[in-house]
Structure 1
Amino acid sequence: MIFARLAKIIEYMYKLHYRNFKLYFKPLKTPLYEPIVRNSIHWVGHATVVINLNDKIIVTDPVTSLNLGELRRLVKPSLNLTSIPIDYLLLSHGHMDHMNYSTLRKINKSAIVIAPKNLKIPFKILGFKNIVLLKPNESYCDSYIKIKALKANHDGRRYPWGAEAESNSYIIENGLEKIFFAGDTAFTDAYKNLIADVAIMPVGCYKPDEFQEMHCSPEQSFKMFKMTKAKLMIPIHYKTYILAQDKDEDTVNTLKRINDGSIKIIDIGQTVKL
């Protein structure tokens, strides 16, 4: 049993690194460059989203590096995050494809950081001044916005041997709009009846099937979206890096097949008006 599992891990790692190795001989794809406008959602790539609510700028899981270790980006980031005045940074957890130190070092340090409780020291070291650590069901409020953390079904440890750490999802609202950012999660029924306007949902990194202990398939993501009773689902967490064995074209085909009109399938660099 141990040798069979080891052989499967070796096979998976070989396929993953071989697919990434081939990317070094191909040019990076060019994204769309649609502008960020008042009251909109713009997809920079992977789980990095720029949300504009009444000209307050919220950025989720900022990762714009061309490489994550030896893993090569498929598409250029649609935006240089240093070019916009970021008011709030939302971190779902500390994995390298969601919390990228080289990206964070360049972001304005006056932004209010909302993150799980285990990420205080990294943000202090990076020089951020306003750090708010939220456990599930805790909220941050100011005169512009309310952000509530929910528990994601995902191990938030940066490294497998690290201390246990939580992952957050977030509800973002300003009195007019209510947006759900799931971050990274396996299937859970924790998001029932959120009544959001938009749900930003992960749909990638679900193959082999064992990965669904930490990530959701497109079908599972859609099922969770329906539980939230949100009006619109925007799929993210794919099309940017090869992190598993699922293929983006299969993910898109699945989303098109299950779409009942409530899924807005967008490309990197596209802006959706609220």
Structure 2
Amino acid sequence: MMKRYENLDNVKSNKSFKDMRQWQKERRSKVKDLSLNIEQCPHKKIKELNENRSRTSYTWIGHSTFLIQLNGVNILTDPVWAKRMGFQKRLTEPGISLSDLPEIDLVVLSHGHYDHLDFPTLKKLKGNPHYFVPVGLKSLFIRKGYQKVTEMNWWESAEFGGFTVHFVPAQHWTRRTLTDMNTSHWGGWIFQSSGETFYFVGDTGYFNGFKQIADRFTIDTVFMPIGAYEPEWFMAAAHISPEDSVKAFLELKAKSFVPMHYGAYRLADDTGPEALERLYREWEKQQLPEEQLKVLLLGETVMEIE
């Protein structure tokens, strides 16, 4: 019998068919302006990213996809360049085209949902990356012809390119077919080097795991989801709201907050600009320093000064 993975505190985040019907009914009554979208960065550092082998950098491609450069290693998180997700067209172009990327050394996957794991994208990546995946996903990668795959359970870690990669909990669920519900896990990834520690949260609802992660790690920069939270009665267990993402940031005691998982695909009823507006409002309400919130345009790079 196939193993089924669970959340901390046994929180269930998958919904019934009846819940789905109710959400669809609600959605039909809402009118949202989808013409306002997240903008592209006018000054992209494509040449610098391809030549960079020493400076730490991160670039938001869109949705949950970042190019992170650490210790001369090129890392991609949840690489998805898909033009559609189900019946919905992508709302914004990826910030950097696949052909403009440098060779990729390491790819981390937070979980198996199609907006985070897109095999047509992986096929087109330059280089011969090593894949770090949640437990339960390695067999699918092997079947697809990928050999360099490391599978991890929560709290496990591995050395790569002079830094440590840790797999940490998230509160979510996963499914790619009718029969594989939660047969692989989900989580976030922490890249811990001597100079800087990045935490890529993945896809999650707000949960106690943030406090546990804060107890074990000193986080510099957190890549935090803020979108796909509406309606909250349906989404809250699996998708964190902008307000709760700020609460999680404070619990993590991180230095910088980089928002993600908004504006690319219509996965829920909120829009990218709405998610950002609520994030800004909560940031002000909590009286947090402006410089700690790093909202990126698509294709925008933050590169540390040498």
TM-score normalised by structure 1 residue count: 0.88
- Residue 273 of structure 1: how far off its partner (Å): 2.5
Say whether 1:31 aligns with 2:40. yes
Cα distance change of structure 1 residues 266 and 108 upon mapping to structure 2, 3 Å threshold: closer
- Aligned match of 1:201 in 205, 221, 224? 224
Superposition pairs of residues 98-137 of structure 1, within 5 angstroms:
98-108=116-126, 110-137=128-155
- Residue 117 of structure 1: how far off its partner (Å): 1.4
Work out the number of aligned pairs and report it.
268
Tell whether the 8 Å contact from 1:95 to 1:159 is kept in structure 2 after alignment.
Answer: no
- Residue 57 of structure 1: how far off its partner (Å): 0.6
Cα distance change of structure 1 residues 56 and 15 upon mapping to structure 2, 3 Å threshold: farther
Superposition pairs of residues 1-274 of structure 1, within 5 angstroms:
5=19, 7-12=21-26, 14=28, 31-32=40-41, 34-35=44-45, 36=49, 38-82=55-99, 83-108=101-126, 110-159=128-177, 161-164=179-182, 165-192=184-211, 193=214, 194-209=217-232, 210-259=234-283, 260-261=288-289, 262-274=292-304
- Residue 150 of structure 1: how far off its partner (Å): 0.6
For the residue of structure 2 that corresponds to 1:147, the secondary structure is strand
Deviations 1:8-47 (A, max 9, x none): 143256579x97xx97xx8x98622521353111000000
Q: Could you tell me the percent identity over the aligned residues? A: 30
For the residue of structure 2 that corresponds to 1:49, the secondary structure is strand
> How far apart are the structure 1 equivalents of 2:134 and 2:178?
17
> How far apart are the structure 1 equivalents of 2:221 and 2:198?
5
> How far apart are the structure 2 equivalents of 1:46 and 1:34?
17
Cα distance change of structure 1 residues 131 and 103 upon mapping to structure 2, 3 Å threshold: same
- Residue 5 of structure 1: how far off its partner (Å): 4.6
Cα distance change of structure 1 residues 257 and 56 upon mapping to structure 2, 3 Å threshold: same
- Residue segments in structure 2 that go unaligned for 5+ positions in a row: 1-15
> How far apart are the structure 1 equivalents of 2:248 and 2:197?
17
- Residue 159 of structure 1: how far off its partner (Å): 4.3
> How far apart are the structure 2 equivalents of 1:157 and 1:184?
13
Cα distance change of structure 1 residues 118 and 4 upon mapping to structure 2, 3 Å threshold: closer
> How far apart are the structure 1 equivalents of 2:296 and 2:163?
26
> Could you tell which deviates more after superposition, 123-132 or 212-221?
123-132
State the AA in 2 paired with 1:31: Q
> How far apart are the structure 2 equivalents of 1:248 and 1:4?
27
Tell whether the 8 Å contact from 2:38 to 2:263 is kept in structure 1 after alignment.
Answer: no
- Residue segments in structure 1 that go unaligned for 5+ positions in a row: none
> How far apart are the structure 2 equivalents of 1:273 and 1:78?
16
Task: Name the structure, 1 or 2, with higher relative contact order (CA <8 Å, separation 6+).
Answer: 2
- Residue 53 of structure 1: how far off its partner (Å): 0.9
Tell whether the 8 Å contact from 2:102 to 2:126 is kept in structure 1 after alignment.
Answer: no
- Residue 146 of structure 1: how far off its partner (Å): 0.8
- Residue 151 of structure 1: how far off its partner (Å): 1.1
Alpha-carbon RMSD? 2.6
TM-score normalised by structure 2 residue count: 0.80
> How far apart are the structure 2 equivalents of 1:264 and 1:120?
34
Cα distance change of structure 1 residues 143 and 14 upon mapping to structure 2, 3 Å threshold: same
| Runs of 4+, deviation exceeding 3 Å | 2-7, 12-16
> How far apart are the structure 1 equivalents of 2:112 and 2:178?
12
